[in-house]
Amino acid sequence: MDFDLLAALRSPAGTAALATADGLAGGDPLMAASALRASGVPADLAAAALTQAELRRRAAGKFGPDAARMFFTRAGLEQATRREVASRRAARIAGTGSTRLADLGCGIGADSQAAARAGLQVRAVDADPLTAAVAAANAEILGLDIEARAGLAEETSLDGADAAFCDPARRRGGTRVFDPRAFTPSWDFVTGLVASVPATVLKLAPGIDHALIPSGAEAEWVSVDGEVVEAAFWCGPLARATRRATLMTGTGVAELTGTGTDEAPVGPVDGYLYDPDGAVVRAHLVAEFAAGVDGHIADPSIAYVYAPAHRPSPFGRAYAVRDTMPFGLKRLRAVLRERGVGRLTIKKRGSALDPAELRKQLKLSGPNETTIVLTRVAGAPTVIFCDPVPAPHRDPGPSR
């Protein structure tokens, strides 16, 4: 998409093409394109309408019903914050008394939209002119008062802003960038924002190095329905803890906080194995999780937690341990054959084995089903046979 096509899509002819394309999304793309062209839609507009229809369909999971009215770029949709995450962040910023937010690297506008809905005045910039134009169009379509324009974060005036949000670009030429020194804007600028606007939030990839956490900042890792989606560094007056794992599910939100430096006690495999949520692991809060279930780890480098009794927790999935054995392919194959296991769930931490390849080598056959965990116990490769404990159907309860 370019500026001309964005304008064409917003015209009456474009609106009609989008309406037709929306009804064809998800079907055969060649047939859909032919149907649009047959109705008199120019080829370039037909292609753009079909692309938007497909992106809107994909965006529904992040933007809800608003996706059906919005415009997207492929990269912008991929990088956009999920609505529930952006809304929670905006409410937290607004709750500290901030009223004017500078969104530096706004993308297609997900976080700006949430901030505006939370009552914040938003000034948003993006280095890519087309992306900024899409953000501005989306704000207008949604009826939100957002000043969105093209511009470099480094050259944007922060006068009047009492809060800042920055999501540095972590792609270059369509390729992911993992070295913070290659971020845009630069890492020095990003971490220096707090000197100009103390109430600053930085959105980063979940794999960000803990060594890069600014002094005094709260580092939060967020998961949605078990998928770790981002890290956020809360600076200045926005910091409320040292480390935080925030888990968002259809039943509510749970938060686990701690120092990120505590070490869990080490002990043997016990009656229950817990697999902590990825946000808990990324936040280095396994010790805090273990304390909550009266548990321990069985290897200093593995995040599985073991406990003698089951204590339901929103922060990890529980499995009842049935048996353990040292790992050996021939012995494992024999045990599974003896037990008539034809359906096998394989989980792993601390094992280099490829579950798909292992499944082929095991030559499973039989009517029964089981779960095995490939891990290390006191440094030794180990197989744990277990059964998942059904998750309680209840609200995760208060944060801690």
Domain range annotation of the chain: 3-72, 77-240, 272-388
The residues near 112 (Cβ < 8 Å, ≥ 6 apart) are: 101, 103, 106, 122, 124, 135, 139, 144, 146, 148
DSSP character at residue 156: S
Report the alpha-carbon distance of residue 242 to residue 237 in Å, rounded: 13
Cβ 231 vs Cβ 219: under 8 Å: yes
Half-sphere exposure (CA, 13 Å, Cβ side) for 145? 6
CA distances, 388 to each of 18, 57, 274 (Å): 46, 34, 10
The residues near 161 (Cβ < 8 Å, ≥ 6 apart) are: 100, 101, 102, 123, 197
Report the candidate in 228, 244, 269 with the shortest Cα–Cα distance to residue 373: 269
Concatenated DSSP letters for 214-260?
Answer: PTT-EEEEEEETTEEEEEEEE-GGG---SEEEEEEETTEEEEEEE-S
Burial class (CB in 10 A: 0-12, 13-18, 19+), 2: exposed
> Is the pTM of the predicted complex or chain greater than 0.95?
no
What letter represents residue 111's amino acid? D
pLDDT at residue number 396:
46
Enumerate long-range contacts of 281-284, CB under 8 Å, 24 or more apart.
282/206, 282/207, 282/221, 282/228, 282/231, 282/245, 283/219, 283/220, 283/221, 283/243, 283/244, 283/245, 283/256, 283/258, 284/210, 284/243, 284/260
Helix (H) or strand (E) holding 374: strand 368-377
DSSP β-bridge partners for residue 249: 252
Buried residues in 119-136 as b, exposed as e (16+ CB within 10 A): ebbbbbbbbbebbbbbbb
pLDDT tens across the length of the chain (400 residues): 899 999 999 999 989 888 888 777 666 666 667 777 777 778 888 889 989 999 999 999 999 999 999 999 999 999 999 999 999 999 999 999 999 999 999 999 999 999 999 999 999 999 999 999 999 999 999 999 999 999 999 999 999 999 999 999 866 656 676 777 778 888 999 999 999 999 999 999 999 999 999 999 999 999 999 999 999 999 999 999 999 999 999 889 999 999 999 999 999 999 999 999 999 999 999 999 999 999 999 999 999 999 999 999 999 999 999 999 999 999 999 999 999 999 999 999 999 999 999 999 999 999 999 999 999 999 999 999 999 998 765 444 444 4
Beta strands 252-258 and 243-249, pairing class: antiparallel
Cβ 166 vs Cβ 185: under 8 Å: yes
77-240 fold: Rossmann fold (3.40.50)
Token code pair at residue 101: 């937010």
CA distances, 330 to each of 276, 338, 342, 358, 374 (Å): 30, 12, 16, 11, 15
Radius of gyration of the chain measured on its C-alpha atoms = 25
Report the alpha-carbon distance of residue 78 to residue 84 in Å, rounded: 16
pLDDT at residue number 400:
44
Cβ 297 vs Cβ 349: under 8 Å: no
pLDDT at residue number 397:
47
